[in-house]
Structure 1
Amino acid sequence: MISSLIAFVLFRHIFLRITLRQQPATKHLPPKTQTLLANHLASFLHAVCSSYLVLSTFASHPDLLTDLQGLKANHWALAASRTTVAFSAGYFIADCWDMAVTGVYGRNLGIWAHHIVTVVCYSAALHKCALTPYLVLTLLVEFNSIFIHVRKILVLFYNGFDHLPATAATAYKFATAGLSATYVPTRILANLYITYQVGIQDRPNWAFPAYTWWMAFLGMVLVNYYNVILWKQLRSTLRKEKVALALASIKKDDDATADAPQGAVAEAEGNDAGEFLS
């Protein structure tokens, strides 16, 4: 966890800061846009790596899918699950640091609450060496987050939704399709399976203090309810966005206006369903 924290802080505040200021395509972006872009690039890296770790963990140790408490798992299976959880815990701490230092999403209480709860739960599970397979399965949502961050990165890189060139607009559409296609499997079906495992399958043989079961079960019920609401909001947002992208595609690429950078920041910090999901 500490290694992951250090790696993400160095990647975000040294490598990306230097790279974005030196590259011709990004060095002229306003400081706030560069800061947002760096944040989402780091988040994109975490989403890709975390998705790989989750899939490889369950591919290598499929028995964990029916033993999410890890009661029958061997040493290597539990080590793989702890590594995956520790990697993401380090990232979330690093992202909290980034938000505190740079002010990115600093006023978004939803993201702060999500990160704090995640760090506390992951750190406690790692400290007690308990329930890490459950937490690995919750990280399947990062596969959906890949597409969220791709959309944000494109908007920031090109200084606004209205200024996407043809190739970027096509990539944006593919990312949107990926976001829609993976939302239900990763954020609804996977979480319903976790709720079923906690509430029915593992309830009779729960091997940890009773309060942890109540926290897990009630927490998953709340997450499922909120994900359904977000799915409805996301569908509405994507319908409106489809119309906006169609209108933007008929504009010339050189129709940039003086306040385009502000538009990019506003687009990236918009309070829509996709932004919270990031």
Structure 2
Amino acid sequence: MQMLRTSHNRNDDRAGSFFLATLILWFVSVWFEILFNKRRELLWIIAGTWFFQISNWVIRFLVSRDPLFVNTSVSLFHSTVTSVSVLFILVYQCLKNGSDGLFEHSQLVGGTWEWAYPTLCFSCGYFAYDQLDMLLYRLYSGLIPSILMHHLILLICFTLALYRNVTVNYLILTLICELHSIFLHVRKVRRMAGVRDAKSKIVKLEWVLNWVTFIVARCVSHILITIKLIRDAPKFEKGVQLPLALFGMTGMNLLNAGLGIDLFKAFKREINTLKGSYNHGE
């Protein structure tokens, strides 16, 4: 048992060292672009990182010092802010220019909707903050932690798009999935706060919203984006744009499948708990 625990710790240490090294390289890259290539617009990434780090400190000071609770609360805050921002961008764009041509290839790849660039930068800053927070407090496990790999893939895709100012609108559309993340984090915070009554109407409503947003905002939206990329493949210029976009969306769809399995298992556990309480009452 002790040997097994030691093996797990070694795996965690190796994973932590690798992902910390990649995060440091990422920060160096961003600062290089800002300072030497005069990309001042990328300061929104740094602003996002500090904004969510300060949110972390406020929650830690005022609410709880539990690292997992603090991390999840900040993630809930990010999901809410990002969801509202993405919906605002889409509605504003429709009201200003109409919906015609909104999802044309040229618009999604070469165009940048108003407020889309700083929003993507801000969200990119969050993923950097979250990666560092998870590494500092060891909120991961395994040789290749899926959450750290997920953040690394997003950081690579987001920053390359921001550096070259391409596919920004595509990536804004992928962030619609943050609508579902809201209810994922709400569930986690609710359980950590000790609210676990499966018979509660609030909990039942939470599950309904969890499944609806998982299907619509995460699965369907990401599948449609992937189909759009494949259909418009001949319209892409030669280079890394299409392979990188397809790689990113393939990764997201696989993670969505894994998330769906985990969500179903959690849902089944709560249903079984509810049935058990009814049988006990009888």
Task: Normalising by structure 2, report the TM-score.
Answer: 0.72
Q: Cα deviation per residue 1:135-175 (whole Å; 9 max; x = unaligned)? A: 011111110011100110011112x74xx597xx4322221
CA 1:72–1:35 in structure 2 vs 1: closer, same or farther (change >3 Å)?
closer
Aligned mate of 1:44, from 52, 65, 76: 76
Distance 1:71 1:148 in 2: 28
Match of 2:175 in 1: 139
Match of 1:174 in 2: 205
Q: After superposing the two structures, state which structure 1 stretch, 46-55 or 212-221, moved more.
A: 212-221
User: 1:69, 1:133 within 8 Å by CA — same for their partners in 2?
Assistant: no
Match of 1:8 in 2: 52
Structure 1 unaligned runs (5+)?
Answer: 22-30, 252-278
Shift of 1:10: 1.0
Question: What residue identity is the alignment partner of 1:237?
Answer: A
User: 1:68, 1:131 within 8 Å by CA — same for their partners in 2?
Assistant: no
Shift of 1:101: 1.4
* Matches for 1:1-278 after TM superposition, within 5 Å: 1-12=45-56, 14-21=57-64, 34-62=66-94, 63=99, 65-67=102-104, 69-70=106-107, 77-105=112-140, 107=142, 109-158=145-194, 161=196, 164=197, 169-200=200-231, 202-207=232-237, 209-228=238-257, 230-247=259-276
Q: Cα deviation per residue 1:59-101 (whole Å; 9 max; x = unaligned)? A: 1124574135536977xx5342112211210111110111111
User: 2:187, 2:206 within 8 Å by CA — same for their partners in 1?
Assistant: yes
Distance 1:123 1:194 in 2: 19
Distance 2:74 2:166 in 1: 28
Question: What residue identity is the alignment partner of 1:80?
Answer: W
Distance 2:222 2:108 in 1: 21
Structure 2 unaligned runs (5+)?
Answer: 1-44
CA 1:11–1:155 in structure 2 vs 1: closer, same or farther (change >3 Å)?
same
Distance 1:245 1:217 in 2: 41
Shift of 1:232: 4.5
Match of 2:30 in 1: none
Match of 2:40 in 1: none
Q: CA RMSD in A?
A: 2.8
User: 2:161, 2:168 within 8 Å by CA — same for their partners in 1?
Assistant: yes
User: 1:69, 1:131 within 8 Å by CA — same for their partners in 2?
Assistant: no
User: 2:79, 2:181 within 8 Å by CA — same for their partners in 1?
Assistant: yes
Q: What is the identity percentage for the equivalent residue pairs of Structure 1 and Structure 2?
A: 25
Q: After superposing the two structures, state which structure 1 stretch, 94-103 or 220-229, moved more.
A: 220-229
Shift of 1:210: 2.8
SS state at 2:240 partner: helix
Distance 2:204 2:233 in 1: 43
SS state at 2:171 partner: helix
CA 1:246–1:174 in structure 2 vs 1: closer, same or farther (change >3 Å)?
farther
User: 1:37, 1:156 within 8 Å by CA — same for their partners in 2?
Assistant: yes
Task: Normalising by structure 1, report the TM-score.
Answer: 0.73
Distance 1:123 1:226 in 2: 20
Distance 1:150 1:250 in 2: 28
Distance 2:240 2:109 in 1: 22
Alignment length (residue pairs): 231
User: 1:99, 1:106 within 8 Å by CA — same for their partners in 2?
Assistant: no
User: 2:113, 2:169 within 8 Å by CA — same for their partners in 1?
Assistant: yes
Q: Cα deviation per residue 1:113-155 (whole Å; 9 max; x = unaligned)? A: 0001111111111111111111011111110011100110011
Question: What residue identity is the alignment partner of 1:191?
Answer: H
User: 2:120, 2:171 within 8 Å by CA — same for their partners in 1?
Assistant: yes
SS state at 1:61 partner: helix
Question: What residue identity is the alignment partner of 2:203?
Answer: Y
User: 2:108, 2:168 within 8 Å by CA — same for their partners in 1?
Assistant: no
User: 1:85, 1:132 within 8 Å by CA — same for their partners in 2?
Assistant: yes
